[in-house]
Amino acid sequence: MDGLVDRIGYFSALILVEGMDIDFLHKCALEDSVDRHQFATTQEVCQEMDKLLLTLGDIPHHAPVLLSWALLRHTLCLDESSQVIRRLGSIAIQQNAFQYMTQMLKALGSGGNNCTASTARMCIYGLLSFVLTSFEEETLGEQQHLINLACEVFAAPNLAELFWDTEPTTGLAVLLDNNCGMFPQSMAPLLQLLSALISDKSTAKKVYSFLDKMSCYTELYKHKPNDVLSHEDETQWRRQTPKLLYPLGSGQANIRMPQGTYGTVMPTAQGYLVRWHYSYSGWTIFTCEIEMLLHVVSTADVLLHCQKVKPIIDLVHRIVSTDWSITDCLLPITSRLYMLIQRLSSVMNPPMEVIASCVNTLTVLATRMPAKVWADLQHTGFLPYSVTQITGIVQSISAEGMQAGSYGNLLLSIERPQGKYSVTTAFLRLVITLVKGQLGSTQSRGLMPCVVFVLKELLPTYHKWRYNVYGMREEIGCLILELIYTILNLNLEEESQGSPPSLQAMCTHCLANTEAGQAIINIMAIGVDTIDTVMAAQPSSSGSEGSGQTLTQTIKLAFSITNNVIKLKPSSDVISPLEQALTQHGTHGNNLIAILAKYIYHRHDPALPRLAIQLLKRLAMVAPMSVYACLGSDAAAIRDAFLNRLQSKTEDMRIKVMILEFLTVAVETQPGLIELFLNLEVNDGAVGSKEFILGEWSCLQVVLEFIDSKQQGKYWCPPLIHRAAIAFLHALWQDRRDSAMTVLRTKDRFWENLTSVLFGELPAPADITEKSVLETCAFTLKIICLEIYYVVRGSLDQSLKNTLNLFFDKKRYEYWSEYIKSLVIYMTETDTDGASTFLEFHKLISAWRMFLVLATSYEDVMHLCDCPLRLQLLHDVLEATKILLTAPLSAPCLRMGSMLATLLLILLKQWKRVIVNISKILDPLDQILESLSQSNQYFMEKTKAKIYSAIIITIQIKQLRVSDFPQYSQMLLTVCETIHNEAIVLLDQTHHALTTDSALFDDKDSMETDCAPRLQHKDQKDGVCVLALHLAKELCEMDEGGDQLVSITRTVPFLPAMLSALELSLRVKQNLHFAEASLHLLLSLAKTEQGATAVGGAGVLPSICLPLLSVYQLSANGTTQTLGSSRKSLDAPSWPGVYRLTMSLMERLLKSLRYNFLTEALDFVGVHQERILQCLDAVRKVQSLACLDEVDHTVGFILQLSNFIKEWRFHLPQLLRDVQVNLCYLCQTCTFLLHSPKVLQHYLQVKNGDTIPPAIVPRQSKPAQTPKKQQDIERDEMEQRAVLKVQSSLLRILSKTLAAIRHFTPDLCQILLDQSLDLAEYDMLFVLSFTTPAFDSDIAPSFGTLLATVNVVLNMQGEIDKKKEPMSLNVIPLTSPEETKSLKALLRFTMENCFYALISQAVRYLKDPSVHSRDKQRMKQELSSELSTVLSSISRYSRRGAPSSPAAALLLSPSNKSTSSTSKCPESQEPLIQLVQAFVRQIQR
């Protein structure tokens, strides 16, 4: 109430003074026309006023009025009123009129330069100017009161500039001139006036110039000195000798008064006051004064000198903070402040105000040159410091080795006992400025002791200190939090491993784990009621500088700090004390969550509730607690308050946005709270099913209003709120809030309102002022995607179907595709690397990507069945990707390009049917690949991989030739260069891994039965190196002649680099995907003779042969692996697969190079003979597809090597014999398994533990509700298909085995016609027995095995002819004539080789002298009988028509190809039958 009464008094006095029109009176007086004033002719009124005003004077509010009236009456020159004038003036002076007006201006101006304060200052300015012009200064009381008032007056805008244009003999200039005459004897009043006269740069320069050109020097002498000559009347002195004015100074810190200087003498009670007429710079005087203080700092005169120095420092502070350009001129003064702080801090009773002024001045200097100020301050010992090096956060928080410095001593010994904290506030502002100055990592860590001191000594205890000044506690708290806030918002560089902790990391850890965090919580827990009480107690004019505003600012900083600490704190399983205190449940109204929520009731500052909600949002995201439970019984009331502010059309927009963002987070993390806000009620009228309706206090009501298309563009629904509302709806859809979604779907025009933004026209990217519109579109697209994805196709709302149909009809696909491309172009043309600059662009493009990806699976729902439209969208995506990845490579463009590359990859796979011109796809991809290949950024690896994958997919769409692909040569060169570089990098990385990590254990052998633990490989199947190898393979297969890649091998040495990396990878059993892809490329390259020559010449065998032992020889525990089964798909990468590929490569090289590669092939088979023999024997134990595949590759290699039997026998005779024996046993095993499908199925079930090999299981699983009978039927069908797949492999192995055996047995023509044949060269392969082949290894292969093989083949041919389900090389039944013909040819080829081996071995027996004649006769009888039976079957089959054996041309040796390839019709098969018949007739003799 007292404050309100004072304000009424202030305004009453000002109104009366303004009513007297003193300014006009002053103007009239200067023009000698006072009679123009309105009171000049109203004698009666003036007399009445005299009588009335003479009754006043009891209270200070009367003083300005009395003074103004006295001035008015004095100016009007009415003699009869002189007594009244004296009395009124005397009363005004006695009531301290000038002190009152000073107090009044301070009170009115406490809220800043508002309209009221400016008007009051202008009013008092006019009054004070006229008073000083009209009256002698000595009659107005103490001069200091006038100066104080003048300083307050000059705070008005433009008054300082106006003052410098006035005459020096009128108005306030009189006050300045009088004080100049007393300088430097009386220094403080002048400096105080000049400080007030500095308002901008121009006035600062005028003040500097004014002091730089002083014309008189005033001194006080108690006695007349001897070195002066005086005038007769002692009114003037003249110096006889020069004089040093500051004897203790030197250089710049001194000033000399020359000989002959005249001075005017003014006798006073203290002695002689002499005003020397001498020109000098006042700034030199100031430097001398500071230097003098430094000399007398330890004497009793220190306080006296401090009184003179403090105004100097305050003036320097004012000038530097106003005009930085004058700083260099003030260097003699500012450079001495560091020493001044150091010396004054160590005296017995330190002058705290002087020290504070010095620190404040250094703070201003630190804004421009923080590094220099920090470096010089370190030498003073004023700031806290550390005597040991800080190495960790724990050490820094413990303050081990840290000293408080001079400031710490001043705080504990002086400020806290006195309750005055000027140095503390200056210290905090200085540290804040230094932190903001971004000193650098080393210097910033030097500030750590200061920050630790604040966190440990100030923050936890400042509220307990003694305070003499009201509001100082809030100011210190606000400064402390401002310092912490500044640190937490620094943009720091990445810290290197092992480096000392940064200020930010230390501050975050300290707040999260020490009592400093609790102090922050205590500030946040002040609550809205306390703030309202403080705000109500302070005057309404205090504006933005009252204690209530300071308290509010402190709490806002506490909110922001807590939010940042939670965000910056490293993730950990252990909950920090700060998080625990934030989320602990207290009694009703005592937990912090409820206090934060109640800040919604605060109305004075909209930022306070907004920051409180932001902190609630952060806690809801990361804290394991229920906000709804914390609110307790106040939950409903708080919800209503939230919704009231959300609904209000005059509410601050940012609060609305923050409320919606909080609710968006709560959808996922706070189920109880979001149900409270959704406020869904059960519809009592619903029958049969549970239906919901919106409650009275449902937030969905407000959200629906925000998204209403009719409300958009109005002031209460700006784009930011629209975006926040759509984001909230997106959260509901993403979290699958079915009840809320169901209610929303039933609302009229919901989908129309939601999607209205998609049908509008957006401005060009360069013209977008509100980027939130892009986010709104992105969230809308995502909601549509979620709705289509989760809702059954036939259950979509009709309204949404209509919207999607409209989307197609209005060509919005084309519009948005073009707009996305325009965004991409704008990004590449805008020179910026800021990730946040294009955040909205990224969100929209990401949503469009999701939209198109979904469209590939829901083309009918989204009306994208139009092939030209899909092709256009595909080309637009490709063009946008090319623009991003071929532009100057900035991080945002690369990230966006990578995202679009993923979309491109998906569209190419799903929409490959719509692509007509493949070259239009390959040309941009080639440009992208060329651009990416020239960049070495690590984060581009994934993007390169996607482009490689896209090229591979495109090439595989249609069989291309080199002539169809103009960019073939350039792309092949780029790919080969990439392979070369990537192989070198992979080699180095693998070497490095071997020196740092232990070897990785890899997946099991294809023939293993025990499942060993598997570890992930270091290389990736979708890595650049692997995909480049696959692309090279595809390009190689396009070139039928193989010339292009072979020619590139001569210019780009990628083969040696690749083989070196392959060798190391095989040796250490790492980089599986690279090894497999490399071998695939080598296989493709070796398909031609030139390519095989290049591969062989590059040293493929040394790189593969010995290292390949590591692939299968040792398991994880170091023991030799046993052959077993694998449940892994054949297509899955595996080390046994690498072995199989190597075997195929050896086969192809030997087939192409023949004798040029024979030595290497023999070396290979010699090194791996154990594995080869073990593999040939494995079919009896394991019938898995992986095992059979390895057997197939091995037998194929042996088949090629069998063409060189003489060289083989010469180099590896024992291995040759072992291979021959194992091949015969393999033939027996395959025949037995093919003869008995039931037994084979049993072995597949029992031995391998899996009815269906993985390669057989269909990709699409059956519905779970399939009836049991149908499941059994499907199961039987899949088992049958599995058996057929294994039988197909067995037949291929059998055919190759017999073809190889044909080379190991004597040539028929030679053994029949050449009597000199050396039988010792050919071993007996089959024993003389005609028993049925068995599965037991104890029973040796015999002639019965070969005969059984013929019978099996004939049975299979019969099954094909009877239209039974045949065996298939592709698992599915044979449908095409080509497949049937191919299978028949393979069977025929198998039978031919079987007969050949049978007859050759029989003749070998008959010609062998070591065989007893009785055995020979028995063989003739048995063989003729068996063959006669077989021949009859063959004759019947041949008459029906049998195909030729095209496989024979592939599998026979070159010498026999011509013979087998001539069999092209049934008649051409007669020679075989005739040969067998002739042989039968021959042995029957």
pLDDT class for 315, splitting at 50, 70, 90?
A: very high
- pLDDT tens readout for residues 915-955: 888 888 888 988 888 888 877 665 678 888 888 899 899 88
Selection from 1119, 1012, 1030 nearest residue 1082 by Cα: 1030
Q: How far apart (Å, rounded) are the C-alpha atoms in residues 1022 and 1019?
A: 9
- pLDDT tens readout for residues 1014-1047: 333 346 777 888 888 998 888 888 887 777 778 8
Beta partners for residue 275, in sequence order = 218, 264
**Chain centre distance of CA 1461:** 66
Cβ neighbours for 950, distance < 8 A, ≥ 6 positions apart: 901, 904, 905, 908, 925
Residue 1461 has pLDDT above 60, yes or no: no
pLDDT class for 585, splitting at 50, 70, 90?
A: low
Per mean pLDDT, which range of 654-663, 696-705, 1251-1260 is the poorest? Answer: 1251-1260
Q: How far apart (Å, rounded) are the C-alpha atoms in residues 1127 and 146?
A: 101
Q: How far apart (Å, rounded) are the C-alpha atoms in residues 105 and 1018?
A: 76
Residue-level pLDDT at 130: 86
**Residues 532-543: what's their mean pLDDT?**
70
Residue with tokens 């703030």: 531
Exposure string for 1106-1131, b = 16+ CB within 10 A, e = fewer:
bbbebbbeebbeeeebebbbbebebe
pLDDT class for 233, splitting at 50, 70, 90?
A: confident
- pLDDT tens readout for residues 433-471: 999 886 665 566 778 889 999 999 999 999 999 999 888
- pLDDT tens readout for residues 7-34: 888 899 899 988 888 888 888 888 888 8
Q: In what helix (H) or strand (E) does residue 236 lie, and over which residues does it extend? A: strand 236-239
**Residues 273-280: what's their mean pLDDT?**
90
Residue 1424 has pLDDT above 70, yes or no: yes
Residue-level pLDDT at 441: 55
**Residues 534-552: what's their mean pLDDT?**
73
Residue 549 has pLDDT above 90, yes or no: no
Residue 1184 has pLDDT above 50, yes or no: yes
Residue-level pLDDT at 1447: 43
- pLDDT tens readout for residues 806-824: 999 999 999 999 999 999 9
Residue 1293: is it exposed, middle or buried by C-beta count within 10 angstroms (0-12/13-18/19+)? buried
- pLDDT tens readout for residues 1048-1079: 888 888 889 999 999 998 898 888 899 999 99
**Residues 1461-1483: what's their mean pLDDT?**
62
Rounded to 5°, angle at Cα 252 from 249 and 256: 70
Residue 545 has pLDDT above 60, yes or no: yes
Selection from 1208, 1201, 1196, 1228 nearest residue 1326 by Cα: 1228
Cβ neighbours for 558, distance < 8 A, ≥ 6 positions apart: 481, 520, 523, 524
Residue-level pLDDT at 1005: 45
* Average pLDDT over all residues of the chain: 82
Rounded to 5°, angle at Cα 751 from 746 and 753: 115
Phi, psi for 217 (deg, rounded to 5): -130, 120
**Residues 1152-1169: what's their mean pLDDT?**
91
Cβ neighbours for 843, distance < 8 A, ≥ 6 positions apart: 774, 775, 778
Q: Which two tokens stand for residue 58?
A: 């009891």
HSE, CB side, 13 Å, CA atoms: give it for residue 381. 11
Q: How far apart (Å, rounded) are the C-alpha atoms in residues 235 and 995?
A: 98
Phi, psi for 1269 (deg, rounded to 5): -65, -40
> Which contacts (CB < 8 Å, 24+ apart) does range 290-298 have?
290/253, 290/333, 290/336, 290/340, 291/246, 291/248, 291/249, 291/253, 291/336, 292/246, 292/248, 292/249, 293/340, 294/336, 294/339, 294/340, 294/343, 295/248, 296/248, 297/343, 297/344, 297/347, 298/347
Q: How far apart (Å, rounded) are the C-alpha atoms in residues 1347 and 1331?
A: 9
Residue 254 has pLDDT above 50, yes or no: yes
* Selection from 752-756, 965-969, 1230-1234 with the highest mean pLDDT: 752-756
78 against 935, higher pLDDT: 935
Q: Which two tokens stand for residue 609?
A: 């509730």
- The whole model's pTM is what? 0.78
pLDDT class for 689, splitting at 50, 70, 90?
A: low
Residue 1117 has pLDDT above 50, yes or no: no
Q: Residue type for 1393, please?
A: N
**Contact criterion met (CB below 8 Å) for 1296 and 1195:** yes
Residue 327 has pLDDT above 80, yes or no: yes
pLDDT class for 499, splitting at 50, 70, 90?
A: low
Instruction: State how far the alpha carbon of 257 is from the alpha carbons of 245, 833, 1235, in Å.
Output: 7, 63, 131
Collapsing DSSP to helix, strand or coil, 130 comes out as helix
**Contact criterion met (CB below 8 Å) for 290 and 340:** yes
**Contact criterion met (CB below 8 Å) for 191 and 311:** yes
Selection from 1077, 1037, 1038, 1071 nearest residue 1054 by Cα: 1077
pLDDT class for 421, splitting at 50, 70, 90?
A: very high
Residue-level pLDDT at 425: 96
**Residues 134-151: what's their mean pLDDT?**
87
Residue 169 has pLDDT above 70, yes or no: yes
Classify the C-alpha dihedral 459-463-467-469 as positive or negative. Answer: positive
Residue-level pLDDT at 88: 86
Per mean pLDDT, which range of 35-44, 829-838, 968-977 is the poorest? Answer: 829-838
Q: What's the farthest any 2 CA atoms get from each other in the chain? A: 178
pLDDT class for 484, splitting at 50, 70, 90?
A: very high
